[in-house]
Structure 1
């Protein structure tokens, strides 16, 4: 319906100015009291600029209606002429219905907003005390009882704070501080009223009021319980019991003055439930009684609450002594058993207690809310504040800034938390300011969300913009809370003794020696180099090092761990993410400590590619990548290289990083065998697959580099690389060579000799490239399993292989082919090669007796001739009793004899074949288990030796530290190296018994 004439014009203006209830607004503006607003576009625009123009107009109409005529004219004239009053008064009326009610009850209070003197812009407790005293005196003159006079004066002061707040004169931190200062002044005034009413009680005792929570931290809300603790002592020779009873009466009366509801409203509830024993304990205690409780009975959360304790009223000297007594206890709280876990569990309980219908609207307690910020900051303070006094700040934002300055929280994270906390607190303030009710729930009604959004500066689409910004900040808070609050480093720091966090050089040397460092002087030099100075880098190192020292000490070689950490830190010293990663991301610091102190291989790889530290920061960073992904990356890197030499450098870079990923995850226990358990099967399988895959990708890259260097993208012949031995079985260890065969097939129209020449050249070029000098662990290609061994051609065509195997193949070659698998090059050619050799490795009807005898003869000859001179046959992992060779030859004999009939045996993998033989009833389950256990253990020892020594070996190290490190890898506690060797001999001896029965004994 169209409203004709003047009304249509008015409605248009009202819509433009942001009014929602146009009819009510037009009716109000028609009143004589609002003529000036109706006729002055500046005034109407000012009303429209408020959070809720309809509310502001109603509040102004009510105020003008109750003012005497002369006062009304003065207000209107001042509104027209003075922009400061216009903004303050209308801003408050548009944001707070409750303060509009106060002005309607005490209309003269509008004059408090006319002008602020300089000292009024940021008043403190003393200024509020004067204002309350003046207001209370005025109230008494008007016939109010002292308590009601205080309530009216409190609201007048609150009106002034709100005016500064909504006009942007003060920010959220200043607003919260002023509210806390006003609360402090109010508590003092309330206590004075109680003392005036009960002078005898006041004479009998000294009573101190200690502010807690947001009041103590000077970050109070508009409407909040004011948390306090009462401390008392006898005065003037009064008996202690009588003094406590008098103090209790005073404290109780003070609480009622603040909490009672009268026609003048209420101030706020005073909550003393943070006292010892909570509501079940006495309201007032002596200082000695407080200390006795905290020292014997207090729970973790009570010390967390004391972080914000501050004397606010009553006897100042007693309050000071209370703080001096309890403060040391606060900074010892983190030493309590399970301290960090207790704080974390408390936060989880708070979230769990929120009604399901409120979780998404809870600004304070819900996930991503204010408590997430406060708990994270407080936990970091309590853990690190023991040794760093700069963190001992009661307020959340001040403490957060100190944590950032000290390097305990990243600058970007701190800035994000600061911004989110300010935004969420401002939301909370605006919600509470509306009706001055204690709530932390975001409203659901559209009009309330609109007012809230406009109060925060969102004017185009207030509801949508508010929701978007709120959700953004809440997500960021939750992310950072999870990152900081559940940081593993926190628990480790909390478990340190205070003296371990900051050590003098002498004490540090003694501590290092006690931790097991062989060269404490050298260790001290590393510590000084890493942590001395005033830089942010040094500050973060000082946070990390006490914990890292303990983790290094939990290894076989703490000195090597610290030295390697020094080297890595130097290499990454100018990289901004490195120390931040160790401080913030999951278990990165502990993972790095374990990797750097576990032996030589992983640290050597890391020092050649220190950026790989980033892999330790997330669980997915330790997960092996599959062969396809590795090959794609490797081939892409080769494609970008200018020449074959540059290409092989890129290939090695990928292999180096991936080898570090694999051995780091292995050391940390990501592949199984965690918690000291000695079940290595899953670990061996993952490592074997991962190392074989990355070696296959490296060989594919070398092949592509060799081809591109001379022939471009296409070789004159199809070319494939066949993996053999452990490579083909995907069972390689860290030090394994790559056994291969090279096969080619001329392309259509290409001369066979030309094809053979090209294939030979590319195979030789691959070997040359992979043998170029490097500090990386070598990848040696061994082609000695080819037909005729070293005497035969390096590369054969598929037809040549077929001819050879048809006429000349020996039984050992059939055995070797059991583990053949294409690993690189032409996939179709690789498949055809496998079709060619399948009849040899899985002969129809199995092996004849002559072939079985030949295999046994070859095995016996190998045992007598190839075991190194002086080697202990009971501990040699490859050729010794019950070692890899024993198990593999036994399994391979079963495959050769029964593979034609049992599909499960047609696999290149030793453990899979053994499991299939057991399932088929070819070997009893217990004897299969003995063989599997021995093979897995021997493989684990070889991997451990390579990780510890940095070079391959088939025997246990002779050096005691290296032997201890092998033991730690295998899950043995320090001092149990003898048990490790005994277990190895026992397991392999039993496996040898199975070999003698099933390999040598049965036909």
Structure 2
């Protein structure tokens, strides 16, 4: 910006100050940068120029102290105000002191802002802190004066009650501008009556009077001006409601009577004064009102309507030049960020923050918005807030409209660093255009609203045509049984009406049902796809947020229908756990299952904000994690995005990550109470979880149980934990195992994490839940049956102490590498397989049991286990793996089995496993028609007879 002179009026104010300074014998800093900054400030702020002329001592003190050139520390303002208020004895003196303090600090803040000495975040923070300390400073004097006059309000225990002050809007977010109102809501902890005063006074009367005095102290305009204009209309019931309300009354209001826009306003609510315990109670009460447990896509609709009302008001007043509320203005940026907060904040507590720039950054980090868009919105926000501050700095007025006169435009452009209005306007309009484009994209009407009105199938749902024509439309669309479809639709509509579906819910159904019919009609099994999706809708139809989600995002519907067409399991998972609809939002995520490192990071994010003692919420987040990731694997599996042989890898990694986290949480809980076990083997927990069966063999399927064995590293019967409430190591590890099982298996509203089977532990169901590794080794050496050694082939550590894991591997290898009599081994393996087949094989009536039938999966597994136990003594490499495919590869590599046999068994195993997976996804019995996979099964039977039968 050039050094063009200030206007003559502001320059005259400067000459007045110089004359006063000369009389006082004060010299200006000999610094060209000071004069350059002074000229910028005087040109852009008549308020500072006049304040300096009228109160020259203030500017002199600011210059002498060096405060114009430095950033304040965290407690500077509070310390300075405390000194100013020392000795203040009445409300008149309090008001005067606060106003003079505010004048000094506003001159300082405006100087630093206009002179480009402070970045935007410092200016907003200083303004917000100034408001905070003035509120608290005023209340710290007014409260004891009120108690002396009326008596002290107390709770039932005698604790004095304080006024709770909740800052809203920009002050709540610590984003206050240079001449903003401060929006406040006042509350108190409990209703009651004050006794002992001149006359009884209710708590409500006391705190309303105190609140009135606080507002007057801050907002009354006196000879010294005002401190802050105060707006209390955001309180419950608005201007019709009491100025201060008890927490129970507020809770009742927000649960039953609050309007949707109040949720939006409460995002920025921040307590600035009050007892810490009462504040905690207030915020805990407000949190579920603002942030819903589920994804709340109704927020887009509500904010779209709110913006529509604002736009209508602006149009009526011709306020397109309003940089706050107008097109592409500050409010649109805030709406974008806060819409995502309302939708996702309940599921992602990190989004429960107030500053909009922090919110935008989080949206970029979570890939909810493209990084380039976040950068553009952030840059626009900084630019527009700087414009807003410069508009308001001129006369300390709360204005948001761009100037229309030439001098005013030039002054604003120069204050922003531009030589003329035209160059400034180009930059301003570019920012506003980008903001409006993004706002329009985020809040665009759902595609269903604009597309389905012309869809013929819309008439079928709405019943606009005669029945014959509706049947023709359904048949023409692709439904083979149009009469059955029409009947089912009527049944579904009647069910919705009986359940009392709201008018808005009916509107949303009217938007999504034609889309569902169109997409289902194009599926391979239209009637089945429709039926499965209708079952999902029946489970969510009374939960308006889910209908809003589907209406806002027709892509979710498309994914749901197509995947439900392929798998009833998929539809049933969504119906049981509607939160999983979130997984369908982004196809890039849906069809790209996560591997271990990414799974760990996702689980970290889910659990980071959960209290360490909140077991229910921990379990809820773990369920969300496992269900969501299993759904992604199924989506990728059904669409053949990932090959079959890695499906089990993905499912196994999900289970392991969940299991390890459950162990960590359970261990931390017990350590907090009892301390750590002492005299143990191991370097961490001294606890080990062994996975057997499909988990151990890295072959989990959809809905598989987890076969687990728990071991610990304590051999001393007298060893105790080292905490304040010590217990024996045995007790500690037993409780750890119990808590782990509880967290894994307890049925909650969102289901259970996993079913767990512990029958493979030593001594089976009669054995101890947790056993020492030493006794486990002894049992395997002295008491275990051959089938238990077979089970060890597929056993591996899946969670717990790495030192114990290494020792377990040594024990396992030693057991598996024993010398065995081949004939006796063959006989025992064969006999166990015969018993299993006799008890478990469901083959018959033209169906073949994929797992237990002769020539099925179990035959292959038993042959592999026999081979490992038969030859591991001579070939220890056979103990390196636990999964069947790699064990077969090892047998081939060692020339222990002919290559053709291994190839046949591997191909048969993969084919049978694929059929097993598909049966799970189709929720069908794990059987095949006798005609299916016959060559593979016959080859397995032939190899069984060759190797295992006498």
TM-score normalised per structure 2: 0.47
TM-score normalised per structure 1: 0.45
